[in-house]
Amino acid sequence: MVVNVSDANNNVKKERSWFWKKIGFWLVSAKSGTLGPEEWAKVRKMSRSGKNRRTRRLFALLWVPVVAFEIAVSLRVVRVDPWAGLMSAAWLVVLMGLTVRALRIGFAQVSLEDRALMDYGAEFDALKEKQRGEIFQRAVRDGLFGRVKVDEHEAEQRLRAQGDAYRLLAPALIVFVAGYWAVCLLGPFQAARGALAVTAVVVTWLAALVLAAPTMIRMWTQPDEPGETAAVAE
Amino acid sequence: MSLHNRIAVLRAEKKLSRARLASSVGVNPQTIGFLERGDYTPSLELAFKIAEHFGLPVEAVFSPRPFRTLSEQVYKLHKREA
């Protein structure tokens, strides 16, 4: 990781290699005592970027072409071999699931600065190299294994996001079902129209179940309504 | 309805970090930040825990109306005394 570099006066000095500076430090950065101020600055910048709304929005926008690309790949593979298509789609769904999980963990992650205050009662910059390494190790471990605290704010944000997603999903599902029926009934595939119409019925009922699910869940879980007590009856 | 609070002022008064307050009331430090900025309305349970932490009644820490500034309160007190 350390290379000898000669300057203009042929003085040899030890310096981190290019690979270490750009990539290597991410791989071994959890080992304490290995990072210089430059690498720590990068680690902290990366740790803060997830807390920044602009970065998150950029990531969310990038998400659309990535998903479109994944769908295009699966569609291409499924034409060659349906089983390979299934494998491709499953693999991409797993990848997407892992990414979503990592993002959800990231929301609830405490920043390195706050960890420094919580664990050592001091600013991150004031910590010893070993303590910084320990904090970073813990942050990486928590991020990988999802050991983060989901407090009431985080739980509420998740619920709200799920509600918003459902509100978007509900009309989109209705449009999708209408489109599916239109293609089935008006598309140029006379021979397969009967089989397609069966799938359209299945899709319609699946959509109806999804749309009715919140009300059904409420029907099941809502407690009995308490009546007015006799003591205050007019 | 947005809820106003004095958490930032009380923290400064007690020289208490967000992280320390957060760990004693059982939330993430970023939640305290969201509360102070008015981006999040706490549950009753959390509001009571925070008030209890500062040893104050809950209405001294949280209010549906904006709190008067310290200078405003001092001027009013001076007027009353005069």
Range of the domain at B32: 4-81
Arithmetic mean of pLDDT over chain A: 82
Question: Rounded mean pLDDT of A139-153?
Answer: 82
Give yes or no for a contact between A59 and A50, defined as CB atoms under 8 angstroms apart.
no
Residue A38 has pLDDT above 80, yes or no: no
A70: in domain: no
A55: in domain: no
pLDDT of residue A144: 80
A158: in domain: yes
Quote the number of domains for chain B. 1
Nearest CA in chain A to B32: A153
Place of tokens 């944000």: A157
Residue A29 has pLDDT above 60, yes or no: no
Interchain CB contacts (distance < 8 Å): A and B? 46
Is A118–B34 a contact, with Cβ atoms under 8 angstroms apart?
no
CA-wise closest residue to A30 among A109, A147, A143, A133: A133
Nearest CA in chain A to B35: A153
If one compares B44 and A118, the residue with the highest pLDDT of the two is B44
A126: in domain: no
Nearest CA in chain B to A148: B28
pLDDT of residue A227: 81
Question: Rounded mean pLDDT of A202-223?
Answer: 94
If one compares A229 and A197, the residue with the highest pLDDT of the two is A197
Give yes or no for a contact between B14 and B54, defined as CB atoms under 8 angstroms apart.
yes
pLDDT of residue A168: 94
**Which chain B residues have any C-beta within 8 angstroms of a chain A C-beta?**
17-20, 22-23, 26-31, 34, 40, 42-43, 45-46
pLDDT of residue A2: 53
A64: in domain: no
A211: in domain: yes
Is B19–A152 a contact, with Cβ atoms under 8 angstroms apart?
no
Residue A34 has pLDDT above 70, yes or no: no
How would you classify the pairing of strands B62-63 and B4-5? antiparallel
User: Chain B: nearest CA to A109, how far in angstroms?
Assistant: 8
A82: in domain: no
A228: in domain: no
Is B18–A110 a contact, with Cβ atoms under 8 angstroms apart?
no
User: Chain B: nearest CA to A29, how far in angstroms?
Assistant: 25
Using a CB-CB cut-off of 8 Å, the residues of chain A touching B43 are 152
If one compares A200 and A50, the residue with the highest pLDDT of the two is A200
Quote the number of domains for chain A. 1
> pLDDT tens digits for A192-208?
888 889 999 999 999 99
Spell out the alpha helix ranges (H) of A109-192.
112-120, 129-145, 152-186
pLDDT of residue A71: 86
Confidence of residue B7 (pLDDT cuts 50, 70, 90): very high
Spatial distance between the Cα atoms of A198 and A180, rounded to a whole number of angstroms: 11
Residues 6+ apart with CB under 8 A from A123: A113, A116, A117
Range of the domain at A155: 151-222
Please, what sign has the CA dihedral across residues B3, B52, B34, A152? Answer: negative
Confidence of residue A25 (pLDDT cuts 50, 70, 90): low
Question: Rounded mean pLDDT of A136-160?
Answer: 85
Check which CATH number belongs to the domain holding B35 and give it.
Answer: 1.10.260.40
> Best residue in B7, B21, B30, B37 to probe A by mutation, most A CBs within 10 Å?
B30
> pLDDT tens digits for A59-109?
889 988 988 888 888 888 888 888 998 888 898 889 888 888 888 888 888
Using a CB-CB cut-off of 8 Å, the residues of chain B touching A110 are 19, 28-30
pLDDT of residue A5: 57
Confidence of residue A53 (pLDDT cuts 50, 70, 90): confident
Assembly ipTM: 0.81
Is B31–A154 a contact, with Cβ atoms under 8 angstroms apart?
yes
**Residues paired with residue A15 on neighbouring β-strands, in sequence order:** A3
> pLDDT tens digits for B19-74?
889 989 999 888 999 999 989 999 999 999 999 999 999 999 999 998 888 788 88
Is B27–A117 a contact, with Cβ atoms under 8 angstroms apart?
no
Is A117–B34 a contact, with Cβ atoms under 8 angstroms apart?
no
Is B30–A110 a contact, with Cβ atoms under 8 angstroms apart?
yes
Using a CB-CB cut-off of 8 Å, the residues of chain A touching B46 are 152
pLDDT of residue A194: 86
